[in-house]
Amino acid sequence: MTTKKQIALALSGGGVRAMVFHIGVFKYLAERQALERISHISSVSGGSLLLGLILQDAKMKWPSSDNFLAQSFPAIRQREYAEQNSSTL
């Protein structure tokens, strides 16, 4: 019997740029059904903000890969797009 290795993530800071980078990492992992393997996360600044958005969208539970792709990722991307457009006024 083979067990899949667990994943530990370290998410850096850097504000919005870090959030955009990290959401791409989460999307990559979710497309490979790997979010379920994340066992530890350490984060600062932009990484922490993204984690807060993911957990808020998933009602404070860690989302499955399918749930992230269907619900959390589109919702967060929509928020980012709305914030970018409102800040250019």
pLDDT digits (tens, 9 = 90+) for 28-41: 999 999 999 999 99
Cα(5)–Cα(76) distance, integer angstroms: 28
User: CB-side exposure of 80: number of CA atoms within 13 Å?
Assistant: 20
Residue 79, pLDDT score: 81
Query: Greater confidence, 3 or 18?
Result: 18
For 43-52, the pLDDT digits (tens) are: 999 999 999 9
For 44-84, the pLDDT digits (tens) are: 999 999 999 999 999 999 999 999 999 999 999 888 777 66
Are 10 and 48 within 8 A, CB to CB?
Answer: no
